[in-house]
Structure 1
Amino acid sequence: MQIVKSQFSNKIDWHSLLNSGNRVFIGSNAAVPNALIDSLIEDGKGLNDIEVTHISTLSDDKWALPEYASRFKINTFFIHGKLIRKAVEEGRADYTPCFLSEVSGLFSDDILPLDAALIMVSSPDELGFCSLGVSVDVVMSAARAAKHIIAQVNPLMPRTCGHSFLHISEFSACIEHQQILPEVAVPEATKIIDRIGQYVAMLVEDGATLQLGIGKIPNAVTRYLQHHKNLGVHSEMISDGVVDLIKNGIVNNRYKTFHPGKTVVSFCFGTQKLYDFVDMNPHVEFYPSSYVNKPANIAKNDNMVAINSALEVDLSGQVVSDSIGDHFYSGIGGQVDFVTGASKSKNGKPIIALPSTARNGEVSRIVATLSEGSGVVTSRGNVHYVVTEFGIASLQGKSVRERALELIRVAHPQFRDELLAQIRKKYWVPDYQKNTPTDIPELGDMQLLRLDMSEKFYLRPLNPSDERRLQEFFYSHTKETINMRYNYTPGQMTREKSCDLVSVDQSKDVALTIVRQEGSKVRIEAVGRYYLIPQKNSCEVAFVTRETNQGQGMAKRLLQTMIDIAKKRGLKTMFALVKSNNKAMISVFEQFGFVRSLHSDFQEMELTKYFTTDKESIQTETAQGESK
């Protein structure tokens, strides 16, 4: 069968296809059939009160202009673009909240029956099949459910693989009109977004399958996956960042357990580079959102990592992502679909990533209580991780008290005291929890450092949310370890005492921990501290390691980090008091240049490190300070 241009209409007879009061669907994202919209406006005069339904649209959204209010009533499932947002604000358009995976069912089950689907397709092949190209999402389902398919055949539309084809014989009418696909430039990197991308990338293990949402943060994440291996993609959308990951062999879908070997998506938008990449690419398959976003299908991917953003998160973990107060801003989209699917995946990780503040730092996105009118899109029971530029909050299995402390830790420092004060009024946090988390500036922007060891070990500051972990760490010690470390046998590590030990002003004293973290499973393996002695411009240092990890270099790593911090803070000396028979610990200190000195207690040995060559001057100053 050969398709010739004479089979395309030059003009659509809208009055033979539609009646006033009908409901029509408009194609999505980068595949809005603008020529059909122009034709309907010009040649469909006399047709009024047409309900227009759609999801996100990358278009001039002409149908939303006030002058067409009597002709078109908009009902959108996702608010995107200034005109659509303004129409919703002014009451000329409706917003219908719905999971993206369930939008198709509204059409197929006649909850919102469609009289016509206005779509954009590629040129037909020699068999007459046209591809929906870069936007299969809910377009395929709308086309299948509508009484009439009205198509704009665009020679510039890529032909994408998967479940993306319709035969030209299915169209009630079609026109050929060339339309350049809208390009969305790769967002410029910022320091804050880059740091969020780094933290999120730390949660992605080799062999994981990814869902990447829309915006700056997913693009930043892709920049920090360049050293990962054997990643897969099962995502409602992809953008330019994924192209390089596939070309560099980082995404090869080798270990996917659902559609192995294939990148699975429902739509894409980005630059022409992306559109050229997906054209006739058998490695990237497009399927309807009802299939891609179905939580049960998402969960079939082991190690599924879902990365989405939000407008606001409260201290219990509730996520707001479609409104600012009672001002509807975007939509539910696929966030809940993928958060749910990833949470049910074997070793899955649902992640919410967002900057800690909004309005140029004026307001916190981490809040004690949600803004009035805000709607919860993702519940507190679904989210496993919340990531900001200040770190990773792990929420799975945490009590409300622990969640609050975790989330305060990743809030902007200028809001932490206020957040703690607000939730203390609600008794989420006991009165003995007095201090908010503080960062260690000397560690740099990233307060979580992955160690080069055989297992998943990380070095970071100890913080208030570690209270229970530190208690468990203490009770894991043998009596010998406790005696060696504390020189006596403490009877009990109460929650109050543990809270005091993890609530550290890290700008003065230092408390570091090495944790083993696998997903949401976190265990303290070693702790190192130094206590500042201002009058001597010195500090006392100590550390303890879980017995099963002794000899693996954790003590050395903690000590080296504390030495580096002390030097940067301009301290003159660092000293430790060690039991004389603790040869292993003495050896560690001496390897770092600590020298022995006499101590009044013959059972203890004092070891001192001098951060200057003028040792005699320091000893004199110290003696003078003691005499005072």
Structure 2
Amino acid sequence: MEEIEKNLVMQLTDKSGTPVLWQDFIKSGNRIFIGSNAAVPNALVDNLIDNSAHLHDIETVHILTFSDNVWAKPEHKDLFKVNSFFIGGKNVREAISEGRADYTPCFISEIPTLFKQNILPLDAALVMVSPPDEYGYCSLGVSVDVVAAAVKSAKYVIAQLNPLMPRTNGHSFIHVNQIHAWLEAEQKLPEIPDAVMDQVSERIGQYTATLVENGATIQVGIGKIPNAVLKYLANHKDLGVHSEMISDGIIDLMLSGVINNRRKTFHKGKTVVTFCIGTQRLYDFVDKNQHVEFYPSEHINSPVNIAKNDNMVAINSAIEVDLTGQVVSDSIGYQFYSGIGGQVDFVRGAWLSKGGKPIIALPSTTKDGEISRIVAHITEGGGVVTSRGHVAYVVTEYGIADLVGKSIRERALELIRIAHPKFRESLLQEVRKHYWVPPYQDNTPTSVPELGSVELKKFTLGGERFILRPLFPSDERRLQEFFYSHTKETLMMRYNHHMTQMTRESSCKLVSVNQHQDLALCFTKRDHLGEVIQAVGRYYYIEAINAAEVAFVIRETQRSKGMATTLLLQMIKIAKKRNLSKLLACVRRDNAPMLKVFENAGFVKGYSEDFDEISLSLNIEEQPEEQETDDEQG
């Protein structure tokens, strides 16, 4: 009796409850759409397979499907021909790799056009929905994305009514009159637990979070790096969300008020997405939640709509990035691995946004650490998803590469700096084979580990936000611009003579610092267009006496804000960690402000052979351990 009842429940019926056959809607050679992400109608697909007598060569089209993807198994190759817009799951990936299935690259924002304009006409759409409400409306629930377009475009809509499907708000509803047949079947939604963060993803998250300003609107994905980014946004304020998807990491930020969407300039007050994937906690969170709205991909992923959000920050990942900034995201060599997805949609939208920032975040190496993911040239067979013209920032666990407005040579230096240290020298040699790099530019970047695992700190000085970080070889042009911003008086105070030129070669030597021996720190101010150096502090190590000589130069417009003092305190701490005995300084007698900075830090005056200069020294061994003075670290 129980088996009979089960079979009755699993019967495909029309709206009146009359049993119908699959052959009433689907013929051999038809094209059908299968629902997306966490809303794959598995019971519906199973029922089709069980009742597919005399059907064959049905083309299935879909994007990412969190499912066992039975339709892609070898035993069903005569029934189904798989065509995926985004590769995921073992069976689909294997089918494509073995040539039993196809991959069609397309921007997520444009897949609906393929359906609507009958470029890929749909004979049927197999989708999962919630049961209808009292008005006859079912919800597409956790996956509206391209499902909405498939429902509108297909000749027949065949639905799996799942009582466990959340009812989500937004443009997520379909009326029972739009459904031609359905199957009532309870199906637990697939759960993707939060990935356990490792040290690499933590650092990438910290660096990426420094690029997100208060009031920004963000787009993130799922996985270790997105989770790490969200973790380090916990102290931000008034963030908004306009994203292709959300996962569990969004929940606590919304509950704490960090994400409140108040300062959004498009869909103000709402978190807007096309789908979600995570744990049951997330599915419960979006159920009837009026603060989260689901819209079709052609709306959310439209670069024009994305750009309507001021300060839009798009955070995406990659398989590899070459030294010109080209991003490979859908293939590993000739092996297609995922898909174009929404990366280009959001990168382009963020570029067009007022104050926007497109970011590519990835580990510097493969999991085993044996292969660099920052590469001199794209792996043979690899395809560019995001062009070198689209990329603004690339982030690894070694820092942030700013590519905005950079030449090919400058881009290469920026990207080599964030590559794993063991690959930097070989990358520099490789880039010389193809792109012009001057012979004097021969130093690879070195780190300042004493600054912490994330080698940048944020400070508020004079009411403005600044970043303190090491000076990099890729700062050559920034330092040159910094030099030409100085007045004659500043140049005289710093160099004790009136310098009139800072050549590229001179600038390169000044930024190519062995930071393990000497030290060069800078304050920068960053906006969505890049960084500008505001101050530089250095020390030069004197091995014979285990001491270092200190020097500073501050941009005139930034003086009296405490930059020199802050730089000096950081340098004292680093010198103490390196077990230096003394710090020395030579200051012009008429440079009263700088003399005061050194004296306030505990430096004492000593004998000087030059009457115009005053010698100062600080005994490092006598210095107490200093407390951190910055109000927010990267």
TM-score where L is the length of structure 1: 0.95
Deviation, 1:603, is: 1.8
Q: Does 1:600 align with 2:617?
A: no
Deviation, 1:402, is: 1.1
Deviation, 1:457, is: 0.7
The 5 Å alignment of 1:505-544 reads 505-544=514-553
Corresponding position of 2:451: 443
Q: Does 1:338 align with 2:346?
A: yes
SS in 2 for 1:544: strand
Corresponding position of 2:6: none
Corresponding position of 2:77: 69
Corresponding position of 2:92: 84
Residues 561-605 of structure 1, C-alpha deviations (whole Å, 9 max, x = no match): 111111111111111111222222122111111111112222222
SS in 2 for 1:358: coil
Contact 1:368 1:419 in 2 (8 A): yes
Corresponding position of 1:384: 392
Contact 2:123 2:154 in 1 (8 A): yes
Task: Give the whole-Å Cα distance in 1 for the aligned partners of 2:22 and 2:372.
Answer: 50
The 5 Å alignment of 1:202-601 reads 202-453=210-461, 454-601=463-610
Task: Give the whole-Å Cα distance in 2 for the aligned partners of 1:246 and 1:442.
Answer: 35
Task: Give the whole-Å Cα distance in 1 for the aligned partners of 2:109 and 2:487.
Answer: 53
The 5 Å alignment of 1:119-130 reads 119-130=127-138
Contact 1:8 1:175 in 2 (8 A): no
Task: Give the whole-Å Cα distance in 2 for the aligned partners of 1:10 and 1:240.
Answer: 40
Contact 1:9 1:176 in 2 (8 A): no
Answer with 119-128 or 12-21: which moved more. 12-21
SS in 1 for 2:505: helix
The 5 Å alignment of 1:49-198 reads 49-198=57-206
Task: Give the whole-Å Cα distance in 2 for the aligned partners of 1:394 and 1:285.
Answer: 33
SS in 1 for 2:160: strand
Corresponding position of 1:622: none
TM-score where L is the length of structure 2: 0.94
Task: Give the whole-Å Cα distance in 2 for the aligned partners of 1:448 and 1:519.
Answer: 18
Answer with 580-589 or 373-382: which moved more. 580-589
Deviation, 1:501, is: 0.3
Task: Give the whole-Å Cα distance in 1 for the aligned partners of 2:437 and 2:287.
Answer: 55
Corresponding position of 1:200: 208
Q: CA RMSD in A?
A: 1.4
Q: Which runs of 5+ in 2 are unaligned?
A: 1-12, 624-634
Deviation, 1:613, is: 5.1
* Structure 1 counterpart of 2:516, one-letter code: S
Task: Give the whole-Å Cα distance in 2 for the aligned partners of 1:597 and 1:234.
Answer: 60
Q: Which runs of 5+ in 1 are unaligned?
A: 615-628
Corresponding position of 2:628: none
Contact 1:440 1:447 in 2 (8 A): yes
Task: Give the whole-Å Cα distance in 2 for the aligned partners of 1:305 and 1:165.
Answer: 29
Deviation, 1:251, is: 1.1
Task: Give the whole-Å Cα distance in 1 for the aligned partners of 2:423 and 2:383.
Answer: 23
Deviation, 1:214, is: 2.8
Deviation, 1:7, is: 4.9
Task: Give the whole-Å Cα distance in 2 for the aligned partners of 1:549 and 1:109.
Answer: 57
Answer with 343-352 or 590-599: which moved more. 590-599
Task: Give the whole-Å Cα distance in 1 for the aligned partners of 2:450 and 2:171.
Answer: 52
Residues 161-209 of structure 1, C-alpha deviations (whole Å, 9 max, x = no match): 1111111122111011000000010111111101111111111111111
Deviation, 1:12, is: 4.9
* Structure 1 counterpart of 2:541, one-letter code: L
* Structure 2 counterpart of 1:308, one-letter code: N
Corresponding position of 1:31: 39
* Structure 1 counterpart of 2:164, one-letter code: L
Task: Give the whole-Å Cα distance in 1 for the aligned partners of 2:159 and 2:291.
Answer: 27
* Structure 1 counterpart of 2:456, one-letter code: L
Contact 2:265 2:308 in 1 (8 A): yes
Task: Give the whole-Å Cα distance in 2 for the aligned partners of 1:12 and 1:408.
Answer: 62
Deviation, 1:8, is: 6.9
Contact 2:14 2:180 in 1 (8 A): no
* Structure 1 counterpart of 2:113, one-letter code: G
Task: Give the whole-Å Cα distance in 2 for the aligned partners of 1:607 and 1:338.
Answer: 54
Task: Give the whole-Å Cα distance in 2 for the aligned partners of 1:132 and 1:325.
Answer: 36
Contact 2:548 2:582 in 1 (8 A): yes
Task: Give the whole-Å Cα distance in 2 for the aligned partners of 1:157 and 1:217.
Answer: 28
Contact 1:12 1:175 in 2 (8 A): no
Task: Give the whole-Å Cα distance in 2 for the aligned partners of 1:536 and 1:474.
Answer: 31
Corresponding position of 1:610: 619
Task: Give the whole-Å Cα distance in 2 for the aligned partners of 1:7 and 1:499.
Answer: 74
Q: Which runs of 4+ in 1 moved over 6 A?
A: none
SS in 1 for 2:386: coil
Contact 1:9 1:174 in 2 (8 A): no
Corresponding position of 2:7: none
Contact 2:402 2:530 in 1 (8 A): no
SS in 2 for 1:452: strand
Q: 1:44 to 1:387 in 2, by over 3 A?
A: same
Residues 324-347 of structure 1, C-alpha deviations (whole Å, 9 max, x = no match): 111100000000001011100111
Task: Give the whole-Å Cα distance in 2 for the aligned partners of 1:385 and 1:256.
Answer: 22
Task: Give the whole-Å Cα distance in 2 for the aligned partners of 1:428 and 1:116.
Answer: 56
Deviation, 1:133, is: 0.3
Contact 1:358 1:364 in 2 (8 A): yes
* Structure 2 counterpart of 1:394, one-letter code: D
SS in 2 for 1:451: strand
Deviation, 1:17, is: 1.2
Task: Give the whole-Å Cα distance in 2 for the aligned partners of 1:301 and 1:428.
Answer: 39
* Structure 2 counterpart of 1:312, one-letter code: E
The aligned length equals 610
Deviation, 1:521, is: 3.1
Task: Give the whole-Å Cα distance in 1 for the aligned partners of 2:396 and 2:415.
Answer: 9
SS in 2 for 1:307: strand
Task: Give the whole-Å Cα distance in 1 for the aligned partners of 2:176 and 2:283.
Answer: 22
SS in 2 for 1:612: helix
